[in-house]
Structure 1
Amino acid sequence: MRTWILGAACMAMAGLAACSNSTRAPQGPGVCYHVVQDGEEVRFNVLAEDVESIEFCAARLEEMRLNFLRLGGSTQQVAGAYQGQFIFIERAGVYFGQTLEGGRFFALARTGDGRLAIPGVIQREPAPEAAD
């Protein structure tokens, strides 16, 4: 019985240790980072300083992504970090997350012409009313 309890406690501690190994973003105030994953190594390259908010950092990352595409690059997805949050630029829009490996939440949507906007601000044309 004691062995079973000791084994269960060890398994629980191992599970908690595995959760703590998630990659965290730097906390530098106002610094926007481009995140590069090379295998298991993660590098944080300073993209801009004195950035006002996470949305402006996302805009700088999108600008960098578009400039690389204009130069002949093929990278469609970019990751960044701002004040402890991760930013993920993807085809559908921008997502934020607390860790690099964890869950993400939707923050900015792409408009019809590819620009980024807050999802609630996007207005769609109303459907035409049917004639009676």
Structure 2
Amino acid sequence: MRNRLLAALAILVLPAALGGCEKKLDAPTDPQVCWSMAVTKDGKVKFNKVAEHVPDLEHCAAQLEAMRIKFLSLGGTQTEITGEYQGSFLFLQREGVFTAQSYEGARYPFMVRTGDGRLAVPGAMPQQ
């Protein structure tokens, strides 16, 4: 009985302990700089500067959305973009923009898409 309990405990604890060994993705923390994240063909992560003097996370999301739309108009096919602003990650997806304190961390809704596809802060649009 004790061996089964130890085996079950090892199954639950071991993955969490090993997960702590994974290298955390370090993002740039330059003040007021908005970054786009890309993965190169060899699997390395690269951050590309999108804009400087960006006052906040919301404006960075707008810069990334403008970049996404421009690339799509030029024939690009990437509809989801990952960006970064002062240590916070932004994930632009079909549903809206999500944010997280780390790439691997929990993602929280930050902006939602309106009926016509624009981005808005949740609660900013009047209810019908």
Q: TM-score range by the shorter chain?
A: 0.7 to 0.9
Q: Cα deviation per residue 1:82-122 (whole Å; 9 max; x = unaligned)?
A: 00001110000000111112211100000001111111112
**TM-score of the aligned structures, taking structure 2 as reference length:** 0.81
SS in 2 for 1:80: strand
The answer for the alignment partner of 1:29 in structure 2 is: 31
2:55 maps to which residue? 52
Q: 1:59 is paired with a residue of what secondary structure?
A: helix
Displacement, 1:124? 2.8
* In structure 1, C-alpha distance between the alignment counterparts of 2:125 and 2:85, rounded to whole Å: 25
Q: Taking every aligned residue pair, what percent have the same amino acid on both sides?
A: 43
Structural RMSD (CA)? 2.1
Q: 1:70 aligns with which of 73, 92, 106?
A: 73
Structure 1 runs (4+) deviating above 6 angstroms are none
Q: Which has the larger radius of gyration?
A: 1
Match in the other structure for 1:105: 108
Equivalent residue for 2:64? 61
Instruction: Return the alpha-carbon distance in structure 2 between the equivalents of residues 35 and 111 of structure 1.
Output: 25
Alpha-carbon distance in structure 2 between the residues aligned to 1:57 and 1:79: 11
TM-score normalised according to structure 1 size: 0.79
Structure 1: unaligned runs, 5 residues or longer: 1-7, 126-132
Q: Which has the higher contact order (CA 8 A, sep 6+)?
A: 1
Pairwise CA distance, 1:67: 0.3
Does the CA-based 8 Å contact 1:109-1:119 persist in structure 2? Answer: yes
Gaps of 5+ in 2: 1-9
CA distance in structure 2 between the aligned counterparts of 1:16 and 1:90, rounded to whole angstroms: 26
